[in-house]
Chains A and B, each alone.
Chain A
Amino acid sequence: MKRHTSSFLLLGILMLLLGLLIYLPMIELLRESLQENGRWSIANYRRFFDWGQPVYLRALWGSVNISLLTVLGSALLGVPLAILFTRFQFPGRKIFGVLVSLPILLPPLVGVLAFYFLVSESGIIPRLLQKIFSLSSAPLVMRGVPAILLVHVYSFYVFFYLFARNALQSLDRSLEEAASGLGAKTWTIWRRVIMPQLKPALIGASLLVFMNSMASFTAPYLFGGNWRYLAVEIYNAKLNGDMPLALTQAVILAAISIFFLLLIRGYENRRPSGASRGSKGVAAPPRVTTARWQKKLLAVLGGVLIMVLMLPQLILILIAFVKNGTWTWQLLPEQFTFENFTAVFTSREAARPWWNSLWMSAFATAGGIVVGTVAAYFAAYQKHWRWARGGIDLSVMLPWAVPGTVIAIMLIILFDEPHWFTGGKILIGTAAILPVAYFIRHLPLQFRATAASFSNFDPALDEAAQNLGAKAGLRFRRIILPLILPGIVTGAMMAFVIALGEFVSSILLYTYDNQPLSIAIFSELRLFNLGTAAAYSVLLTVLIGVVMWLAQKWSGGTEESVWG
């Protein structure tokens, strides 16, 4: 119809963009992986799936093994925490409940760094134990698999916590009352009534954690040692100049991730929204523990848990004030300084990675605002092209599943030659490539936040504005935009702060001139400037905290739905 031509044009541009930035890199990656000496061949895959010499397969098993253990560990930590915070009333419950979901906001690199200071060979805990018990060597040193698992569980238990908490909160209490009225004991009620209702949430969280763990790069990269991890092997292959191998591994990892994305989506579509809605249940109120000792015990337990969970951040703060090069063999650092922080504001050299990350994230986020909003409009609001809705939604969500390492490899493959849409330039090796990578990686986040706003937007408001004589421009400016702005802002702020600390694709794509913050932290660590590395991490964390707090105020708390 004539009156929709401009919309249709916009849809066309969006589809072209998604094609160029999401599908073209994927197709290029797949195509190149199927080539040998300029001819079609599956030699690369034969090499990977060589059962006689399973060098590369071992990396795949390494990833799968750790991911399965991560799921188990995250569930064992996250679910009990969710039960504790939804079912029991004790002093400090509210504030602990907020703190407990914080690790998800920590950039992976910062988390890994904190654990490095805490439990590595030179970590504080092993040293402390060695000193206290006068041991010849430091005990409890974490490296390899246990260290990776520790970091993974620390970052990913939040998924289980949030999923289980939401499911527990929406449980219909009358079902439990009915069961207990029928004579069931507490244990039976949990086993037969509550757990079956939590199953969808637990399966959802498991899939999500598995997918995230498979994609994880930073922890296996820093702690892995001899353990082979697929995401890291891609990086190593690229570094060793074995591009065909890097490509093949990237394709396999991408395929697994996309498979899990489809699995998660299929699962979400199948289960009814919200928990079972058989009856008009009242949301279960937290049980008030009557005995005072119980209250105290729970408060202490909660407090200790939070302390343990906060420990990594506290260590970072401590080390951030340590003078570089002064903490070597001593048990605890002895010389403290503010230099590590002030340097960022006084030294041009120290400030450069900050500026780099700030402008690159800003550009990526700005692009994400435009594309994410347009995509959300077509996927979650407009009704003229219903056929386009599911396709756009799936396309935009693809980069959410594809690991950062793979995205970086895709971009390398695509942009190491000139294209008409890059103005005939080669983007690899320029400062433009990182913003592009950030944009692609965090577009799903911005899209989801905005789409959530769009689905809450009542189309009758737009009709009312039309009826009052407003043309499309005025309606968008005065009615639609103000009402979806909270979603756009939340998504943009999250994308921005996550891009600030982005490490995984940065390490494959950065150039000396546009070295981002994460790479700077990493280099400082390599140079043993522990204080600087920690100070940057703390600053970044504070920045993230402030931005997230602002986003929370702005949107009234939609950010959790974005993670889910």
Chain B
Amino acid sequence: MSRVRLQDLEKSFNKTSVVHGLSLEIHEGEFFSLLGPSGCGKTTTLRMIAGFETPEHGKIFFNNEEVTFKKPSARNTGMVFQNYALFPHLTVFENVAFGLQARKIPPAEMRPRVQEALQLVEMAGMESRPVTQLSGGQQQRVALARALAIRPAILLLDEPLSNLDAQLRKSTRAELKRLQRRLGITTIYVTHDQEEALALSDRMAVMNHGVLQQIGTPQEIYNAPQNLFVMNFIGSCNVLRGRIAEQRESFVLVVHEGGQIEIPRLNRTIAPAGAAVTIAFRPEHVRVTRDPASAKTTGDEIVFNGLWQTAEFAGAHWLVAVLVAGTRCFARMTPEEAQSILGAGFEALPVGERVALHIAGKNVRLLEAE
């Protein structure tokens, strides 16, 4: 098992920068995700770790050994490709055995190791099948077995679930996690699916336009996003524009277009007075009440007055839209909460009805203005 350290990586294709100043460290045995929209440089980063691309600048270390210019075949990483890249002319067994043959493992030792790898992914008994006759899910398993059979120091996964249908993706995800735990192998997982990254990762890095945005545990990323991009990319958020009016000991006073609010400091570093900021909060943290008059900041709660717009039924929850100082904000409410404002029959409120949004102070983020 290896530690991976990326140091100030730079990579560009045709003069467009794809990865820019990327430094991060992946711990031994960790499940680490690289998350971001397409074109954010996550796959290029993975390919640099695998050795298919060489950075123009910066270094890559496995443990304390620099591998920046080492051949891919000498890095001992196991990679699962997005399209699996199974060798179409070989059987399941031959695919899984390929890496062992390349390592000149004697046949007597090879067979049990292939078996073992196939058992790990529950594909034992399929050895003689041509891979072209397998289903997508089975091909994915063979690709994983092939990568694991060489007992790699690092497992690299390039969106391995993206070609599976939704149902299969969820069950495979859970299996992948179990397997990784069991083997304790350092795993780097590239995905654009925030749900996958949150569910699987020990830690994750969010990237955009080749630049690292934030790195941390899924909870840290979700609960304390460092910037608007991360907050928007991981889940959804409401955004209001404001300006810091005053810094107090335990809270900051922020004025926005609809009034002013007091936001608890909670040990966070906050821009100096006068700075423009973005007030951001997630729909699932918002509670809506119909009584704006009685709405005042109690304890750590922050209240915005707004005008009722719509309420949409979305199955497990209701999505309520409210206009706060001209900006549309959303609240995600349980059916019970929705019932408490809409009444037993979920009748629509008249558009423009005065309502209040309540958010716990710790759930309101003050981010750098865009």
Q: Give the distance in Å from the alpha carbon of A94 to the alpha carbon of B112 in the complex.
A: 51
Contact present for B79 and A467 (CB under 8 Å): yes
- Which residue of B has the minimal Cβ distance to A479? B87
Interface residue? B99 (CB, 8 A) = yes
Q: Mark B99-113, 1 if CB is under 8 A from A, else 0.
A: 101110000000000
Q: When A463-B72, A463-B81 are in contact, do A470 and B87 touch as well, CB less than 8 Å? A: no
Q: Mark B6-34, 1 if CB is under 8 A from A, else 0.
A: 00000000000000000000000000000
Interface of chain B residues 53 through 97 with chain A (CB within 8 A): 54, 71-79, 81, 83, 85-89
In the assembled complex, 26 residue pairs joining A and B whose CB atoms fall closer than 8 Å, in A order, are A1-B54, A3-B71, A458-B83, A460-B83, A461-B85, A463-B50, A463-B81, A464-B85, A464-B86, A464-B146, A465-B102, A467-B50, A467-B77, A467-B147, A467-B156, A468-B78, A468-B98, A468-B99, A468-B102, A468-B147, A469-B73, A469-B150, A470-B99, A478-B87, A478-B98, A479-B87
Contact present for B102 and A470 (CB under 8 Å): yes
Contact present for A468 and B146 (CB under 8 Å): yes
Q: When A466-B72, A468-B99 are in contact, do A461 and B87 touch as well, CB less than 8 Å? A: yes
Interface residue? B229 (CB, 8 A) = no
Q: Looking at the complex, which one of A1, A460, A478, A482 makes contact with B81 (CB distance below 8 Å)?
A: A460
Q: When A466-B71, A467-B50, A468-B150 are in contact, do A483 and B88 touch as well, CB less than 8 Å? A: yes
Interface residue? B52 (CB, 8 A) = yes
With A468-B99, A468-B102, A468-B147 known, 11 other A-B pairs at CB within 8 A are A3-B71, A460-B85, A461-B88, A464-B86, A466-B72, A468-B73, A468-B98, A468-B146, A470-B99, A471-B102, A478-B98
Q: Which residues of A contact B99 (CB under 8 A)?
A: 468-470
The smallest beta-carbon distance between A187 and chain B, in angstroms, is 47
Q: Give the distance in Å from the alpha carbon of A483 to the alpha carbon of B132 in the complex.
A: 14
Contact present for A467 and B83 (CB under 8 Å): no
Q: Give the distance in Å from the alpha carbon of A421 to the alpha carbon of B289 in the complex.
A: 92
The smallest beta-carbon distance between A484 and chain B, in angstroms, is 11
Interface residue? A474 (CB, 8 A) = yes
Q: Give the distance in Å from the alpha carbon of A532 to the alpha carbon of B101 in the complex.
A: 56
Q: Which residues of B contact A483 (CB under 8 A)?
A: 88-89
Q: Which residues of B contact A467 (CB under 8 A)?
A: 50, 72-73, 75, 77-79, 147, 156
Contact present for B73 and A466 (CB under 8 Å): yes
Q: Which residues of A contact B50 (CB under 8 A)?
A: 463, 467
- Which residue of A has the minimal Cβ distance to B81? A460
Q: Give the distance in Å from the alpha carbon of A483 to the alpha carbon of B79 in the complex.
A: 21
- Which residue of A has the minimal Cβ distance to B156? A467
The 4 A-B residue pairs with the shortest CB-CB distance, nearest first, are A468-B99, A460-B85, A464-B85, A470-B102
Q: Give the distance in Å from the alpha carbon of A466 to the alpha carbon of B102 in the complex.
A: 9
Q: Which residues of B contact A479 (CB under 8 A)?
A: 87
Contact present for A470 and B81 (CB under 8 Å): no
The smallest beta-carbon distance between A106 and chain B, in angstroms, is 34
Please give the number of chain B residues whose Cβ is less than 8 angstroms from any Cβ of chain A in the complex: 29
Q: Give the distance in Å from the alpha carbon of A471 to the alpha carbon of B76 in the complex.
A: 13
- Which residue of A has the minimal Cβ distance to B98? A468
Q: Mark A456-492, 1 if CB is under 8 A from B, else 0.
A: 0010110111111111001000110011000000000
The smallest beta-carbon distance between A340 and chain B, in angstroms, is 44
Q: Which residues of B contact A474 (CB under 8 A)?
A: 101-102
The smallest beta-carbon distance between A46 and chain B, in angstroms, is 50
Q: Which residues of A contact B87 (CB under 8 A)?
A: 461, 464-465, 478-479
The smallest beta-carbon distance between A368 and chain B, in angstroms, is 24
The smallest beta-carbon distance between B25 and chain A, in angstroms, is 22
The smallest beta-carbon distance between A481 and chain B, in angstroms, is 10
Among A461, A463, A464, A483, find the residue whose CB has the most chain B CB atoms closer than 10 A.
Answer: A464
Contact present for B73 and A471 (CB under 8 Å): yes
Q: When A464-B79, A474-B102 are in contact, do A469 and B85 touch as well, CB less than 8 Å? A: no
Q: When A469-B74, A482-B89 are in contact, do A464 and B103 touch as well, CB less than 8 Å? A: no
Please give the number of chain A residues whose Cβ is less than 8 angstroms from any Cβ of chain B in the complex: 19
- Which residue of B has the minimal Cβ distance to A458? B85
Q: Give the distance in Å from the alpha carbon of A547 to the alpha carbon of B79 in the complex.
A: 42
The smallest beta-carbon distance between A470 and chain B, in angstroms, is 4
Q: Which residues of B contact A468 (CB under 8 A)?
A: 73, 78, 98-99, 102, 146-147, 150
Contact present for A465 and B98 (CB under 8 Å): yes
Q: Which residues of A contact B86 (CB under 8 A)?
A: 464
Q: Give the distance in Å from the alpha carbon of A468 to the alpha carbon of B72 in the complex.
A: 8
- Which residue of A has the minimal Cβ distance to B76? A469
The smallest beta-carbon distance between B155 and chain A, in angstroms, is 11
The smallest beta-carbon distance between A489 and chain B, in angstroms, is 14
Q: Which residues of A contact B101 (CB under 8 A)?
A: 474, 478
Q: Looking at the complex, which one of A1, A463, A482 makes contact with B85 (CB distance below 8 Å)?
A: A463
Q: Give the distance in Å from the alpha carbon of A3 to the alpha carbon of B69 in the complex.
A: 10
Among B76, B85, B89, B150, find the residue whose CB has the most chain A CB atoms closer than 10 A.
Answer: B85
The smallest beta-carbon distance between B153 and chain A, in angstroms, is 12
The smallest beta-carbon distance between A463 and chain B, in angstroms, is 6
The smallest beta-carbon distance between B75 and chain A, in angstroms, is 8
Interface of chain A residues 28 through 55 with chain B (CB within 8 A): none
Q: Which residues of B contact A469 (CB under 8 A)?
A: 73-74, 76, 99, 102-103, 150
Interface of chain A residues 1 through 44 with chain B (CB within 8 A): 1, 3
Q: Give the distance in Å from the alpha carbon of A479 to the alpha carbon of B102 in the complex.
A: 12
Among A465, A468, A479, find the residue whose CB has the most chain B CB atoms closer than 10 A.
Answer: A468
Q: Give the distance in Å from the alpha carbon of A295 to the alpha carbon of B103 in the complex.
A: 64
The smallest beta-carbon distance between A496 and chain B, in angstroms, is 24
The smallest beta-carbon distance between A222 and chain B, in angstroms, is 47
- Which residue of A has the minimal Cβ distance to B72? A466
Contact present for A464 and B81 (CB under 8 Å): yes
Q: Mark A440-465, 1 if CB is under 8 A from B, else 0.
A: 00000000000000000010110111
Q: Give the distance in Å from the alpha carbon of A210 to the alpha carbon of B295 in the complex.
A: 86
Interface of chain B residues 138 through 182 with chain A (CB within 8 A): 146-147, 150, 156
Q: Which residues of B contact A466 (CB under 8 A)?
A: 51-52, 71-73
Q: Give the distance in Å from the alpha carbon of A479 to the alpha carbon of B150 in the complex.
A: 18
- Which residue of A has the minimal Cβ distance to B78? A467
Among B72, B88, B101, find the residue whose CB has the most chain A CB atoms closer than 10 A.
Answer: B72
Q: Which residues of B contact A465 (CB under 8 A)?
A: 87, 98, 102
Q: Which residues of B contact A1 (CB under 8 A)?
A: 54
Q: Give the distance in Å from the alpha carbon of A269 to the alpha carbon of B150 in the complex.
A: 44
Among A461, A469, A483, find the residue whose CB has the most chain B CB atoms closer than 10 A.
Answer: A469
The smallest beta-carbon distance between B96 and chain A, in angstroms, is 10
Contact present for B52 and A463 (CB under 8 Å): yes
Q: Give the distance in Å from the alpha carbon of A471 to the alpha carbon of B85 in the complex.
A: 17
Interface of chain A residues 130 through 163 with chain B (CB within 8 A): none
Q: Which residues of A contact B103 (CB under 8 A)?
A: 469
Q: Give the distance in Å from the alpha carbon of A466 to the alpha carbon of B79 in the complex.
A: 10
The smallest beta-carbon distance between A363 and chain B, in angstroms, is 29
Q: Which residues of B contact A461 (CB under 8 A)?
A: 85, 87-88
Q: When A463-B72, A464-B79, A464-B81 are in contact, do A470 and B98 touch as well, CB less than 8 Å? A: yes
- Which residue of B has the minimal Cβ distance to A460? B85
Q: Give the distance in Å from the alpha carbon of A474 to the alpha carbon of B146 in the complex.
A: 17
The smallest beta-carbon distance between A281 and chain B, in angstroms, is 26
Q: Give the distance in Å from the alpha carbon of A466 to the alpha carbon of B73 in the complex.
A: 5
Q: Mark B295-313, 1 if CB is under 8 A from A, else 0.
A: 0000000000000000000
Q: Which residues of B contact A471 (CB under 8 A)?
A: 73, 102
The smallest beta-carbon distance between A196 and chain B, in angstroms, is 36
- Which residue of B has the minimal Cβ distance to A1? B54
The smallest beta-carbon distance between A389 and chain B, in angstroms, is 16
Q: Give the distance in Å from the alpha carbon of A458 to the alpha carbon of B102 in the complex.
A: 20
Q: Which residues of A contact B85 (CB under 8 A)?
A: 458, 460-461, 463-464
The smallest beta-carbon distance between A230 and chain B, in angstroms, is 46
Q: Give the distance in Å from the alpha carbon of A467 to the alpha carbon of B73 in the complex.
A: 5
- Which residue of B has the minimal Cβ distance to A467? B79
Q: Give the distance in Å from the alpha carbon of A3 to the alpha carbon of B71 in the complex.
A: 8
The smallest beta-carbon distance between A487 and chain B, in angstroms, is 14
Q: Which residues of A contact B89 (CB under 8 A)?
A: 482-483
- Which residue of A has the minimal Cβ distance to B97? A468
Q: Give the distance in Å from the alpha carbon of A478 to the alpha carbon of B99 in the complex.
A: 12
Q: Which residues of A contact B73 (CB under 8 A)?
A: 466-471
